[in-house]
Every structure is written in C-alpha cells, then in structure tokens.
Amino acid sequence: MRIVVVGASGNAGTALLRRLRRERDVELVGVARRLPGPNAGEPYDGLEWHSCDIGAAGAADQLAAVFAGADAVVHLAWQIQPSHDQRALHRTNVGGSRAVVDGVLRAKVPALVYASSVGAYASGPKDHPVSERWPVTGVPGSSYSRDKAEVEALLEQVERDHPELRVVRMRPGLIFQRDAGTEITRYFLGPLAPVRLLRYGRIPLVPSHRRLRMQAVHADDVADAYARALLGDARGAFNLAADPVLTPELVARHFHGWTVPVAAPLLRGAAALTWLARLQPVDAGWVELGLNAPLMSSARAEAELGWQPRVDALAALRDLFAGMAHGGHTASPPMSADPDLPGRPAGLLKACPAGHGNPY
C-alpha cells in the first residue's frame, strides 16, 4: 500500500510516520516544504521525500505527479505562523488544501484523510460533548477556525461531486507530545516565555474562566487513529480526544499552582495587546477559540475505528511540558531546535519578533 503524507515532518506527521513504519507492506512517501536532512534519522529516514510548497502556483500539478499510483493521501500540512501575515496563512491553509484535493482528483487516488480540528466547529457547549453532527462553521474571530471551516466546506462539496473518493476528516483536540515541545513553544508562546521553569513541574498561576475547558490527545494516539482510517474503509468525520477535560483547576492542582479568575474581555485584551506589541505570537482569536470550541465525544472513533487513546490528556500535557522544559525536538525543520528560527530567542537578534517570519 502506497501512502503519501503531506506535511510529514510536523507534529502529527512525525507521529504518523512512527506508527505506519510498524505496518508491513506499506510504502511511505513524505511531502514537505523543507525536507529533513540525510542524517535526520528515524522516523524520517528510508522514505521517498518530495519538496513542495502547497500554497505556491503550480502546486497542484506537482502534487498530482507525486500522488500518481498512491492508494491514499494524508493531508496534515497547516501553517500557524507568521500570525501577522494572514494572507500567507490563508494561501497555505486554504489554497494549499485546494491544491492537495486537486492533485488527489487528478491522480485518481481512492482515499484522502484530512487533518481537521476541534477548531472547525461552531461555538458549542462546555458542559457536555458534541458528536460529529455539530455545525462545522467555525468560531467567529478566529482565523484558524475560519480556515479550518472553509476547508471542511470544500471537502463536503468534493464528497458530493466525487462519491468514488473516500474522504475521512479527523477532528482532534490539542495534540501533544514531548518531541513537539520546542515547536509548540515557538508557535504559541514565543521567545520570551520562561518555559525552563517547567523543569520544576510547577505553574505558579493559571488563568481561570468557566469556559476555559479544553480537550487534548497524545500525538501517538492521533497517529493510531489515522492508521486505522487509512488501513480500513471508514468515511466521514471522527472526533479524537482523551479524558480528562483539561480545566484550569485540574492543571493548577497537578502543577502545584493557583488559579486566578480572569474575565473573558481581559483575556482577549491581554492577548491582543501582547500580540500587537510582538511580545508573543498568537492573536486574540486563539483566546476566542479556547473559550468557544465545544467539547467533543469520540464515541464514533471508538465504535467504527476501534480506537481508544492509550495516553490520558493529563499525561499528554505532562509529556508536552517536559518537552518544553528540556527542549524536546526532532531533526525535521519544523520540529528542530535551531536557535535562529523565528519564535526562538536568537531570532530576536535577527530582527524577527514573535508572529513574524516562517518558523517551518
């Protein structure tokens, strides 16, 4: 079985390569804008690699050639930064997704598995989980959510127009693993965050709001769900989340801190001001998403894929924090520990403040 993974060098892609390399008779092809080096090691070695900027002109033609003869394509590529250049993000995330779909259709690939997100959902409840039937129209004010919802709408149309194509949409919560510690710090916290304090297993103060309730899942468990979808015959959308729900109170209790109640307007305002001042890389849309994204039920994945998360959400968070504290990384460009990348302290010396430059 020939499987092409677009975005194979990132957080979920790295975990998926690890998982699929355990399967017999699977031939893996990796696609990324910047390729892992020849000495990158596992899980990047021994693959057929192709470099492609999926948002660039002519990407669909290039991808169609790469996809020729594939049994399935996995689309994981997504750009979070530079957050101060929304046009660049839309070009890659929406335009690039169109190029991937176009390439799949031209190459007559029979299956496409797409990395959607809880962020694609409309605002929803925080006191009970929703199924995959919840509206996929995004959270107003979040560009990430808007782009995810736009790609979901594209895939719905593709499913109607091309019923011969098996389309699977995975909607995970926050995806954590130790190896993504440096990457996630760059994308979401920036060079000024004192992440080394996490070595002591403490977060002194945790902002608290009744709607700051989020779900997470370990990258290895996400990868297992992708593998089950690829090797089976499932179609449609699947939520992926592990228990327990991460609340400020739970995080504070397990990391020896105290909760500090903060009103939603203050959370939004603090994020907006620090983002505009280039002190950290994420805008207020991420606060909006955190406050409004619904809790999800993974019952369909459990029933139809036979999927069960092996790592609970709190253990996944601990794994991520350990990676942040100790510089967890891999040898792929997006997950590397290169000190000069945007979002790292040395990047400031090159006049690249938080939210600017391409950290991939």
Bond preceding residue 36 cis, omega within 30 of 0? no
Same domain, yes or no: 185 and 142: no
Same domain, yes or no: 31 and 139: yes
Same domain, yes or no: 37 and 169: yes
In a domain, 304, yes or no: no
The CATH number of residue 11's host domain is 3.40.50.720
150-173: average pLDDT: 98
Same domain, yes or no: 198 and 328: yes
171-184: average pLDDT: 97
pLDDT of 349 above 70:
no
Same domain, yes or no: 115 and 264: no
Same domain, yes or no: 145 and 195: no
Same domain, yes or no: 237 and 283: no
In a domain, 185, yes or no: yes
Total-model pTM: 0.96
230-236: average pLDDT: 97
For 123-150, the pLDDT digits (tens) are: 999 999 999 999 999 999 999 999 999 9
For 47-91, the pLDDT digits (tens) are: 999 999 999 999 999 999 999 999 999 999 999 999 999 999 999
Same domain, yes or no: 183 and 41: no
Query: Alpha-carbon distance 351 to 67, whole Å?
Result: 39
In a domain, 305, yes or no: no
In a domain, 60, yes or no: yes
In a domain, 184, yes or no: yes
Domain that holds residue 13: 2-174+217-242
Q: Which pLDDT belongs to residue 37? A: 93
Query: Alpha-carbon distance 337 to 326, whole Å?
Result: 11
Same domain, yes or no: 57 and 201: no
For 11-41, the pLDDT digits (tens) are: 999 999 999 999 999 999 999 999 999 999 9
Distances (CA, A) of 355 to 61, 189, 204, 271, 358: 31, 10, 26, 13, 9
In a domain, 300, yes or no: no
Residue from 102, 108, 237 nearest 168 by CA: 237
CB of 101 closer than 8 Å to CB of 155: yes
**Total structural domains in the chain?**
2
Same domain, yes or no: 191 and 314: yes
Question: Could you report how far apart the first and last alpha carbons of the chain are, in Å?
Answer: 29
Q: Which pLDDT belongs to residue 342? A: 78
Q: Which pLDDT belongs to residue 356? A: 83
Same domain, yes or no: 23 and 115: yes
Query: Alpha-carbon distance 334 to 309, whole Å?
Result: 25
In a domain, 302, yes or no: no
Same domain, yes or no: 345 and 197: yes
In a domain, 272, yes or no: yes
